[in-house]
Amino acid sequence: MLCLRAIRPFSWRVFHFRPFSFEPLISQMNNCTDEEQIFGLIEKNKSLLSEKQVGCALNMLWQFQKQKTSSVKNVDCVRNHPQFLTLCNLATTKMGFMSDSTLVNVLYIIQQFGIEAHDSLVEALVTEAWRRLESFDISVLSKFSSCLADQHLHYSPLMGKIADIVNRNLENIQDLRSLSVLMVNISSLISQRFQEKLVNKAELLFDTMDSSQVNTARRIVQFLRNIRYRYYPLLERCNKVFLSNMNHLDLDSISKILSLYYSLQFHSFEFILMTKKRLTEMIPLFDHPASCVKLFVALGPMAGPEEKKQLKSTILLMSEELTGQQALAVMGAMEEMESRNSRLIKKITSILHKHLDNYKPVELLRITQALIFLHFQSKELFVRLRELLLSYLKVSVIPSEISILVYALSMLPSAHLDEVRMSQIEAVLPQCDLHDLNIFAASVLRCIQYDHTYLDNIPGKQLKVLQKLDHYGHQRLQECKSLNLLWEEVKSLKGDWFADSLLEETVVTLQRLMDEINYINVAGIASFISRTNYLSTSLLDKIASVVLEQIEKIHPFAILAIILPFSTLNYDPPQWDEFFGTCIQHLNSYLSVLDPLVLVFLGYSLATLQYFPEDLLKTIFNIKFLARLDSQLELICSSLNMKVQFRLMELNRAVCLECPEYQIPWFHDRFCQQHYNKDFGSMNGAQQQIYKMLAEILGGINFVKASVLTPYYYTIDFECILDKRRNPLPYGSHNTTLEKLPKIQLESNTQIAGSGLPPGAEKIALEFLDSRAFCRNIPHLKGKSAMKKRHLEILGYHVIQIPHFEWNSMALSTRDARMDYLRERIFGEGKS
């Protein structure tokens, strides 16, 4: 009894600041319906509030904000309320008693209410959380990482400590929602091996996730975007989550997903189709500028003509209310939509002009690119743009930023860089990666072109900078020791400077590092090769070998990119039959899933290689498939739309000519007639020379036809007919001149070329092949030209191809030599 009496005063001294029971007060807070009721309770009980009640009060205040729409949120009003300050002071004094979850939740809510990172409360909460870090469970750790991310501490030692904890405990983590948050927040500072572990863990836990967890799936896609890894198995599964929840996705969620897909270059026809329907339904729902701009950006590029007209009208109506950032977003969408609405362009550019001083360098580049693409002319705007770019350039010291500014300057009318700016470029070159070097080279070359056109001479400083660009580019390639690091720098490189100066050295570097090619990077390397038109048999053989060894780890979505260089460059690897067979077998179960557009390109690429898988062709040449393709064509830009239609026509032609046993009909007469029903324009210099010489060799202009349309709508430069004794046969009367080609007579004709000719006679097709018909590095005929020759021969022609490098060679430098060359090619002898 005495012991108990001794304890009672002690316990009262230690816990004197707690109320007798805090449950009733928490219950009262939970029953509050607005902020004022919460603040009233705080004012009455501030001397008695416990750490748990402080946490509850802040939580209720944040819940009220979350329930409000953006137009009625009153964050500033709550933050400036005297009792909110009381809560902050109480949180400061009581944080040591808070549980881990309450501590981090208080930090999170405080930040949501806009308390700055340098505020003493935020600093104290972060310090206390850091002290307890090892004891945090996964959900608390994930929320704390989000707090750090909100403070832009992605590269901080504290975020590194969180990454280390995740790495050590990864096997025991079973909560994908919390893990996805951590994955996004630590993605900036983890190794490739750790990235792969996280991807594998996410894939393992995916089936445990509720199918309605759209935000978890979105964060996984965001993580893949952050680490630049287009991992199809996870993307495909996330995409299914989005599709199954489409009716519940709001504009903000759809916009984020579309942006992530665009960055990853991940295409889902079903998602785009459902997104278009969902967004179209939203058009009448929004009348606020921020929402309308977001809808314009998301829906505009995929909308039909009526929807586009409606969206543009809405933006025009509220254009006066747009902010600088909203105008920039609209301009970017208009560029993607290939819009030529002069009224809207003029209105948006006036807003851009008004806010021009507030844009960052990269935004000024986007504005410049959009203005040039949309053919907008405004001397005043371009002058101001130039002034701003130069002012940024004078103080900038970051290579990537300098490259952006220089590139934007070079795009403006009257592109010119003085010696001071050239010296600035020269000074930063040793710090540049290949991407920056390529941007500088493109800029300098554009300025040289301007100077050469409008000035008397090219400044020597520009030529010196070009030489240094070559030097540092070669040096960086030669010193590269990692294929993945090299790939990050070269995957987006293009342009004349790269092709002329660095391409060969890049291929040599790829060959040196090709043992690092694996299932993860093989599609990217293959895509790069097809884009450069550089035939490296050792690299292509390595790609084929990796595919055969690791096909089970390669997603079917990557097969098109892998096959493309073999098709484009007309190359069969040593085990070509096994290689292509393995690729097609891997695809068969996905034929109903792949985008129609992808299947058309895939079918065409294989046809170029004389590979015609029956299952693939039956899938493509099917009424339902073609209807899906038509639906997809409505969603893409006009240039890509036309390219797809041409590839389908070319595939249809190839199957009809090379696989008549499949009994697939030719159904592109109308398309071809619409395309070819126009004048073909003028012949180039080489074609004019050849035409004159052919007329002289064959006996007159009546013995040769120029710009002939063959059955199945191939065009050939010249055609002539030889009888069985190899003598030329005349055509009817001609009205062709050297300057203008005749209008082609169109008809539905799929007969072979020899029909209707005298016995033993044959038609000769002569084609002048320029550099586009050959690989960049060797005179090897590319796939498209080889397929054309093959098809013309099936149609009954004897095909004579005249390569540009033979016609322009020293051996054919005289007219007589060229005449003899043509006689030899046509008659097989030096016939006069």
* Nearest Cα residue to 816 out of 727, 684, 719, 697: 697
For residue 373, the Cα-to-chain-centroid distance in whole angstroms is 18
Confidence check: pLDDT of 16 > 60: no
Please state at what angle helix 82-94 crosses helix 51-66, rounded to 10 degrees.
140
pLDDT in tens, 613-666: 999 999 999 999 999 999 999 888 888 999 999 999 999 999 999 999 999 999
pLDDT category, 26, cuts 50, 70, 90? confident
Cβ(541)–Cβ(573) under 8 Å?
A: yes
Tokens standing for 102?
A: 């309450």
Q: What residues form DSSP beta bridges with 797?
A: 763
Rounded mean pLDDT of 666-682? 78
Q: What distances in angstroms separate CA 606 from CA 548, 602, 616, one per listed residue? A: 17, 6, 10
DSSP conformation class of 781 = B
State how beta strands 762-769 and 797-803 pair. parallel
Task: Output phi, psi for 107, to 5 deg.
Answer: -60, -45
Count CB atoms within 10 A of the CB of residue 829.
10
The percentage of the chain sitting over the pLDDT mark of 70, rounded to a whole number, equals 91
Q: Rounded to whole angstroms, what are the CA distances from 193 to 189, 190, 196, 233, 619?
A: 12, 8, 5, 18, 39
Cα–Cα distance for residue pair 308/312, rounded to 1 Å = 6
Place of tokens 């540009």: 804
- Length of the chain, in residues: 832
Q: Which three-class secondary structure state does DSSP give residue 419?
A: helix
* Beta carbons of 619 and 627 less than 8 angstroms apart: no
Residue 502: is its pLDDT beyond 60?
yes
For residues 160 and 181, what is the distance between their CA atoms, to the nearest angstrom?
A: 15
Rounded to two decimals, the pTM is 0.85
Residue 480, number of CB atoms within 10 A of its CB: 19
Taking the alpha carbons of 453, 458, 461, 464 in that order, is the dihedral positive or negative?
positive
In whole angstroms, what is the distance from residue 826 CA to residue 728 CA? 10
Q: Per residue in 390-437, pLDDT tens?
A: 999 999 999 999 999 999 999 998 777 888 888 899 999 999 999 999
Confidence of residue 199 (pLDDT cuts 50, 70, 90): very high
Closest by Cα among 629, 673, 622 to 647: 629
Name the DSSP class of 233. Answer: H
Instruction: Please report, rounded to a whole number, the percentage of residues in the chain having pLDDT higher than 90.
Output: 70
Ordered DSSP codes for 648-666: HHHHHHHHHHH-GGG-PPP
Q: Mention every residue, 6+ apart, whose C-beta is less than 8 A from residue 746.
A: 672, 673, 676, 677, 709
For residue 82, count CB atoms less than 10 angstroms from its CB and return exposed for 0-12, middle for 13-18, buried for 19 or more.
exposed
Side chain identity at residue 762, one-letter code: E
Q: What angle do CA 390, 395, 400 make, to 5 degrees?
A: 85
How far apart are the C-alpha atoms of 827 and 814, rounded to whole Å? Answer: 20
pLDDT digits (tens, 9 = 90+) for 39-63: 888 888 888 888 899 999 999 999 8
**How many whole angstroms separate alpha carbon 249 and alpha carbon 214?**
8
Element (H, E) at 717: strand 715-722
